[in-house]
Amino acid sequence: MRTDRTFTMLKPDSVEKGHIGAILEKINAAGFRIVALKETQMTTADAEAFYAVHNERPFFGELVEYMTRGPIVAAILEKDNAVDDFRTLIGATNPADAAEGTIRKLYAASIGENAVHGSDSDENAAIEGAFHFSGREMF
Ligand code: IDP
Ligand code: MG
């Protein structure tokens, strides 16, 4: 299992607010190489499948509504220790708890609308990257 890749989505709130460029700049400045990148929109079935691990949680319906309401930017990122370093860069799930300078501290509005996704393990990074990208879209 490779340990140098993670998967991210700039969520609909980031796209709506015009934060794509600023967030990609933070990602580049932190030393991640962009392996794959696209703007796309998830269907309800896509979001339900992507977040299936959360389907018993009380916020699941709200999460699916949010993640499908507009386009996202999906990306695969490469760097040593990618999963952990990216989670550090984005900050805590709830922006109120996120460290200063993190992407969620800077750009997230709330625990629900929290600007970015970051994979939580090497295994999920591979699964989530393959969910959004074919081999021909990875460089
Ligand atoms: P993570 O994105 O930091 O890994 P998870 O616990 O995996 O956080 O939750 C997935 C996503 O579900 C969060 O990023 C957020 O958009 C949403 N979410 C998590 N907890 C809540 C909540 O308590 N209320 C509303 N939405 C939530
Ligand atoms: Mg998670």
Per run of 10 residues, the mean pLDDT along the chain (length 139 residues) is 97 98 98 98 98 98 98 99 98 98 98 98 98 98
Exactly one of 19, 54, 117, 132 is catalytic; name it.
Answer: 117
Report d(CA 136, CA 114) in Å as an integer: 30
Ligand 1 close to Cβ of residue 63 (< 6 A) = yes
Which ligand approaches the C-alpha of residue 90 most closely? 1
Are 3 and 81 contacting, i.e. CB atoms less than 8 angstroms apart?
yes
Give the atom of ligand 1 at the shortest distance from the alpha carbon of 112: 26
Ligand nearest to the CA of 97: 1
| 132 assigned to active site | no
CA distance 137 to 50: 19
d(CA 79, CA 9): 17
Nearest to 116 by CA among 33, 15, 32: 15
Predicted TM-score (pTM) of the model is: 0.98
